């Protein structure tokens, strides 16, 4: 695309034993972006990331990193990578493991040690630096692994499902770090199926399903293009009076009802003001009525649902 | 090739291993074990002046006393004669009780009938001691022979002369001339050399395999191959683990050299008399042998660790590896099975052939070299064949490794492994 793309993927295809994991996928990640790679389980996110990292070779197509095709290993000092399945040397001490992994990225031992100490301190693991990794809790081990991906101050961070398996506190901590790194100019690509997280921190998204790209672009543009007028409504507990109103096809095109909260896509030409009047008239006790942009979650369901209804919905709801 | 990254891998493999309890224990116990089997026999021989044996004289007419003299002259027994006059059963009972109370090791009944028929009966606690029983049998045989010849009227002087002890000292001749080493010591050394090589190649090869499995199982491998080429990783691993092996051998070598130079002082501390110390045969270990053992260890370790790395890369878990490593382990076991054959006839056709076959030569050739003279040409051919095979095996192994480390699921068969090697 442009010269300022950190990652340029051109029509890559990868087949495994008969099934197509990724098909003719193209995407481009601009420098400094926080890029969300979204899709249901088995959509081909991890395979795409592995091909980007040059761990597996695409059957067709090409991957360009930092403007050349020398491959991930050539640029490994500039890239931090967190694989989907986590793991570290169990018997190694936390600090030693971090230093070793930094060394494989070309950082000198002494500098690596200093940086490891700083990060461990920051993530409240200072007291654990000389303990063996197997003595740490799962959450702590994850944090150590995050540190290992960032220790060498990469320009490009590729995180495969970074939020899975983290408790809310650690999720927040990681989100803060991602935002902070992004401010200092790091390009971040991460895959997830947690749309709420992606919505908060991504400025670019790419939704894939069944190995194919469904849509991509700046989040704001995606939302604008998704079209329609959307309204968020919330009711007081146990209020069923609104149900017939929301079922009115003249007003409501689509409804994503989560019980107390519902996202409404207005029917063509319908006026949200009219919906509000009807709701008030129905006697339902409203807690919220807001004209909104469609949520990423909604877009995801619409787009992926259109592609292949069943597996996608199942995957998304399974995680909700 | 990024030398700094390989060095980081080497360093990790080395440091993490040397820090383990396993390394410290095996390093300390190794020499203790070796010292044990070299010095212990001498120390044990000094213990308590031998077995306490009573000779029950049931009218043997002086034979018991002659046997007593024979046993005492050996210095291996603290023997005494007990005369049995009237009630042999009561005496047997009381002697049995003495043995049970551990005041006596055993007793031998000396009767005219036994002397006539040559059937003696010994009862004791130490009947399982092959050495004691052999010595006792030899003493009895000698005393009986003297007794019978004397009764036939042979001059006791002639009998004594005929009975003089015969010694066959075995001295090894090498290209450098007579060495002063005995055949026994040579055999012993060859055995030790073969055994150490087998253990070292096997243990450190398995270490490489487990290291590969660990990285695969914890999926660190994905991070690693995104920064290092698989060959760099495998190389670093093999060098690092091999370095631990060399380090351990160096510790042993230095320990042995220091102990040998203080041998006299050491014997003094252990109350070993000079005569007993002389029985401890310290075979001379030449620089040539050390160099040869090192060369075969390095090449043998390389070829086997490459095979073990393939096993590690083709499995998902350690328990799967137990089965998958069988073919590799079998190769080493064959070398061990060939051991006695090679030692019995180090210059035989079989030994020569096995000294050249690459998977056996790392163990067989050093044994042959220690046990006999091996023509330099044969050593050169064996080393050359081994070196070439090592390069080929490592090359193929690296290609399989490259594919295997990122493959999960069903264990591949040999055909699939070879396909990986072709396609990668």
**Average of pLDDT values for A172-176?**
90
Q: What percent of chain B has pLDDT over 70?
A: 87
| Nearest CA distance, A83 vs chain B (angstrom) | 7
pLDDT of A319 above 50: no
Closest to B373 measured CA to CA, from B335, B346, B336: B346
**Average of pLDDT values for B383-395?**
95
**Token pair in block for residue B416:** 């699939």
Q: What integer pLDDT is reported at residue A311 of this predicted model?
A: 43
Q: What's phi and psi for A263, nearest 5 deg?
A: -110, 130
Whether the CB of A53 is below 8 Å from some CB of chain B: the reply is: yes
pLDDT of B86 above 80: no
What is the C-alpha separation between A256 and A262, in angstroms, rounded? 6
Write the pLDDT tens digit of every residue in B222-257. Answer: 999 989 999 999 999 999 999 999 999 888 888 878
Q: What integer pLDDT is reported at residue B159 of this predicted model?
A: 78
Closest to A88 measured CA to CA, from B265, B211, B102, B219: B219
CB contact (8 A) between residue A87 and residue B5: no
CB contact (8 A) between residue A106 and residue B16: no
CB contact (8 A) between residue A103 and residue B8: yes
| Residue B413: partners with Cβ closer than 8 Å, 6 or more residues away | none
| Strands of B77-83's sheet in order across | B77-83, B51-57, B106-110, B121-124
**Average of pLDDT values for A137-160?**
93
CB contact (8 A) between residue A103 and residue B225: no
Q: What percent of chain A has pLDDT over 70?
A: 94
Long-range CB contacts (within 8 A, 24+) of B176-184? B179/B284, B180/B284, B181/B281, B181/B283, B181/B284, B182/B281, B184/B281
Confidence of residue A1 (pLDDT cuts 50, 70, 90): very low
Mean pLDDT score across all residues of chain A: 87
**Average of pLDDT values for A135-163?**
93
Whether the CB of B419 is below 8 Å from some CB of chain A: the reply is: no
* Closest alpha carbon within chain B to A84: B219
Taking the CA of residue B111 as centre, how many other CA atoms within 13 Å lie in the half-sphere pointing to its CB? Answer: 11
Confidence of residue B34 (pLDDT cuts 50, 70, 90): low
CB contact (8 A) between residue A73 and residue B226: yes
Write the pLDDT tens digit of every residue in A32-41. Answer: 999 999 988 8
CB contact (8 A) between residue A83 and residue B4: no
Taking contacts as CB-CB distances below 8 angstroms, the residues of chain B near A89 are 16, 214, 218, 220
Nearest by CB to B223, from A83, A103, A106: name it.
A83
**Average of pLDDT values for B383-394?**
95
Structure pTM? Answer: 0.76
Nearest by CB to A88, from B8, B218, B227: name it.
B218
Q: What integer pLDDT is reported at residue A11 of this predicted model?
A: 93
Nearest by CB to B229, from A56, A73, A149: name it.
A73
Q: What is the rounded radius of gyration, in angstroms, for the C-alpha atoms of chain A?
A: 22
Where is pLDDT greater, at B168 or B13?
A: B13
Q: What's phi and psi for A185, nearest 5 deg?
A: 100, 0
What is the C-alpha separation between B229 and B236, in angstroms, rounded? 11
Taking contacts as CB-CB distances below 8 angstroms, the residues of chain B near A91 are 16, 20
Q: What integer pLDDT is reported at residue B42 of this predicted model?
A: 57
Taking contacts as CB-CB distances below 8 angstroms, the residues of chain A near B15 are 96
| Nearest CA distance, B314 vs chain A (angstrom) | 17
What is the C-alpha separation between A28 and A48, in angstroms, rounded? 12
**Average of pLDDT values for A244-257?**
84
**Token pair in block for residue B212:** 């590969």
Q: What integer pLDDT is reported at residue B146 of this predicted model?
A: 82
Q: What percent of chain B has pLDDT over 90?
A: 31
Sign for the pseudo-dihedral over CA of A164, A168, A173, A177: positive
What is the C-alpha separation between B177 and B286, in angstroms, rounded? 14
pLDDT of A298 above 70: yes
Q: What integer pLDDT is reported at residue B254 of this predicted model?
A: 86
Let me know if A30 is exposed, middle or buried by CB neighbors in 10 A (0-12, 13-18, 19+): middle
CB contact (8 A) between residue B16 and residue A91: yes
* Closest alpha carbon within chain B to A108: B4
pLDDT of B259 above 80: no
| Residue B27: partners with Cβ closer than 8 Å, 6 or more residues away | B248, B251, B252
| Nearest CA distance, A18 vs chain B (angstrom) | 16
**Average of pLDDT values for B157-165?**
77
Confidence of residue A178 (pLDDT cuts 50, 70, 90): very high
What is the C-alpha separation between A28 and A36, in angstroms, rounded? 12
Whether the CB of A92 is below 8 Å from some CB of chain B: the reply is: yes
Confidence of residue B373 (pLDDT cuts 50, 70, 90): confident
What is the C-alpha separation between A159 and B177, in angstroms, rounded? 71
Q: What integer pLDDT is reported at residue A313 of this predicted model?
A: 37
CB contact (8 A) between residue B9 and residue A91: no
Sign for the pseudo-dihedral over CA of A222, A226, A229, A235: negative
Which residues 217-246 of chain B have a CB within 8 Å of chain A? 217-220, 222-229
Q: What percent of chain A has pLDDT over 90?
A: 45
Tokens 């002697």 — which residue?
B95
Q: What integer pLDDT is reported at residue B5 of this predicted model?
A: 93
Write the pLDDT tens digit of every residue in B185-208. Answer: 777 788 888 888 998 999 999 999
**Average of pLDDT values for B87-106?**
83
Q: What is the 3-state secondary structure (H, E, C) of chain B?
A: CCHHHHHHHHHHHHHHHHCCHHHHHHHHHHHHHHHHHHHHHHHHHCHHHCEEEEEEECCCCCHHHHHHHHHHHHCCEEEEEEECCCCHHHHHHHHHHHHHCCCCCEEEEECHHHHHHCCCEEEECCCCCHHHHHHHHHHHHHHHHHHHHHHCCCCHHHHHHHCCCCCCCCEEEECCEEEEEEHHHHHHHHHHHHHHHHHHHHHHHHHHHHHHHHHHHCCHHHHHHHHCCHHHHHHHHHHHHHHHHHHHHHHHHHHHHHHHHCHHHHHHHCCCCHHHHHHCCCCCCCHHHHHHHHHHHHHHHHHHHHHHHHHHHHCCCHHHHHHHCHHHHHHHHHHHHHHHHHHHCCCCHHHHHHCCCCCCHHHHHHHHHHHCCCCHHHHHHHHHHHHHHHHHHHHHHHHHHHHHCCCCCCCCCHHHHHHHHHHC
Confidence of residue A45 (pLDDT cuts 50, 70, 90): very high
Sign for the pseudo-dihedral over CA of A101, A103, A106, A109: positive
Write the pLDDT tens digit of every residue in A80-127. Answer: 999 988 889 999 999 999 999 999 999 999 999 999 999 999 999 999
What is the C-alpha separation between B27 and B37, in angstroms, rounded? 16
Confidence of residue A309 (pLDDT cuts 50, 70, 90): very low
What is the C-alpha separation between B385 and B335, in angstroms, rounded? 17
Q: What is the DSSP pairing of strand A79-82 with strand A60-65?
A: unpaired
**Average of pLDDT values for A242-256?**
84
Whether the CB of B257 is below 8 Å from some CB of chain A: the reply is: no
Write the pLDDT tens digit of every residue in B268-301. Answer: 777 666 666 665 555 667 788 889 999 999 999 9
pLDDT of B49 above 60: no
Q: What integer pLDDT is reported at residue A13 of this predicted model?
A: 93
| Strands of A34-38's sheet in order across | A79-82, A156-160, A187-192, A34-38, A204-209, A212-218
What is the C-alpha separation between B175 and A58, in angstroms, rounded? 63
Q: Largest alpha-carbon pair distance within chain B?
A: 96
Q: What integer pLDDT is reported at residue B183 of this predicted model?
A: 67
Of the residues B2, B215, B222, B240, the best mutation for testing chain A's interface (the one with the most A CB atoms within 10 Å of its CB) is B222
Q: What integer pLDDT is reported at residue B315 of this predicted model?
A: 92
**Token pair in block for residue B220:** 């660190």
What is the C-alpha separation between A154 and A149, in angstroms, rounded? 8
């Amino acid at each position: 695309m442009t010269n300022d793309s950190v990652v340029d993927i051109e029509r890559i295809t990868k087949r495994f034993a008969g099934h197509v994991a990724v098909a003719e996928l193209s995407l481009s990640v601009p420098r400094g972006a926080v890029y969300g790679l979204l899709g249901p389980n088995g959509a081909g996110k991890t395979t795409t990331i592995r091909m980007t990292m040059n761990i597996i070779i695409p059957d067709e197509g090409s991957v360009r990193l930092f403007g050349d095709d020398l491959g991930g290993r050539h640029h490994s000092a500039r890239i931090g990578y967190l694989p989907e399945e986590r793991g570290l040397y169990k018997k190694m001490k936390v600090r030693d493991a971090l230093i070793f992994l930094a060394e494989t990225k070309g950082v000198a031992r002494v500098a690596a040690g200093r940086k490891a100490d700083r990060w461990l301190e920051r993530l409240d693991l200072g007291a654990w630096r000389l303990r063996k990794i197997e003595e740490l809790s799962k959450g702590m081990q994850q944090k150590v692994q995050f540190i290992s991906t960032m220790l060498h101050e990469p320009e490009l961070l590729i995180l495969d499902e970074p939020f899975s398996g983290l408790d809310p506190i650690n999720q927040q901590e990681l989100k803060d770090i991602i935002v902070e790194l992004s401010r200092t100019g790091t390009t971040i690509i991460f895959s997830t199926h947690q749309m709420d997280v992606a919505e908060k921190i991504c400025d670019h998204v790419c939704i894939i399903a069944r190995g194919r790209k469904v849509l991509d672009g700046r989040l704001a543009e995606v939302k604008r293009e998704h079209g329609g007028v959307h309204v968020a409504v919330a009711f007081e507990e146990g209020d069923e009076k609104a149900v017939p109103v929301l079922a009115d096809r003249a007003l409501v095109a689509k409804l994503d009802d989560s019980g107390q909260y519902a996202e409404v896509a207005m029917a063509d030409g319908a006026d949200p003001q009219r919906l509000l009047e009807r709701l008030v008239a129905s006697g339902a006790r409203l807690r919220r009525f807001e004209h909104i942009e469609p949520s990423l979650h909604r877009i995801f369901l619409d787009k992926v649902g259109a592609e292949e209804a069943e597996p996608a919905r199942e995957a998304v709801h399974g995680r909700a | 090739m990024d030398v700094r990254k390989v060095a980081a891998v080497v360093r990790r493999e080395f440091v993490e291993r040397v820090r383990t309890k396993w390394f410290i224990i095996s390093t300390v116990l190794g020499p203790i074990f070796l010292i044990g089997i070299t010095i212990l026999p001498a120390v044990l021989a000094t213990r308590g002046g031998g077995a306490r044996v009573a000779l029950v004289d049931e009218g043997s007419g002086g034979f018991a006393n002659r046997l007593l003299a024979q046993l005492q002259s050996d210095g291996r027994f603290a023997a005494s004669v007990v005369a049995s006059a009237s009630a042999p059963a009561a005496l047997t009972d009381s002697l049995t009780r003495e043995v049970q109370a551990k005041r006596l090791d055993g007793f031998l009944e000396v009767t005219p009938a036994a002397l006539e028929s040559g059937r003696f009966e010994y009862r004791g606690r130490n009947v399982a001691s092959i050495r004691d029983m052999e010595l006792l049998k030899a003493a009895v045989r000698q005393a009986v022979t003297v007794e019978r010849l004397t009764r036939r009227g042979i001059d006791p002087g002639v009998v004594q002369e005929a009975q003089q002890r015969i010694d066959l000292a075995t001295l090894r001749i090498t290209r450098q001339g007579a060495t002063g080493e005995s055949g026994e010591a040579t055999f012993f050394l060859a055995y030790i050399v073969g055994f150490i090589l087998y253990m070292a190649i096997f243990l450190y090869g398995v270490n490489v395999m487990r290291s590969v499995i660990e990285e695969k199982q914890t999926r660190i491998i994905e991070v690693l191959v995104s920064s290092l080429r698989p060959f760099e990783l495998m190389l670093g691993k093999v060098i690092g683990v091999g370095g631990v092996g060399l380090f351990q051998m160096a510790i042993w070598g230095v320990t042995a050299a220091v102990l040998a130079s203080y041998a006299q002082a050491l014997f003094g501390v252990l109350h070993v008399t000079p005569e007993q110390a002389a029985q401890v045969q310290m075979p001379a270990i030449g620089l040539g042998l050390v160099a040869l053992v090192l060369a075969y260890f390095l090449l043998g370790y390389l070829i086997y660790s490459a095979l073990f790395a393939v096993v590690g890369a083709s499995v998902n878990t350690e328990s799967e590896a137990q089965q998958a490593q069988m073919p590799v382990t079998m190769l080493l076991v064959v070398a061990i099975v060939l051991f006695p054959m090679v030692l019995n006839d180090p210059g035989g056709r079989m030994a020569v052939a096995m000294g050249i076959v690459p998977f056996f030569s790392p163990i067989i050739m050093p044994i042959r070299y220690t046990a006999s003279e091996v023509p330099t040409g044969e050593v050169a051919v064996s080393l050359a064949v081994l070196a070439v095979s090592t390069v080929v095996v490592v090359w193929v192994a690296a290609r399989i490794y490259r594919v295997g480390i990122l493959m999960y699921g069903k264990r591949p068969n040999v055909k699939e492994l070879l396909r990986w090697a072709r396609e990668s």
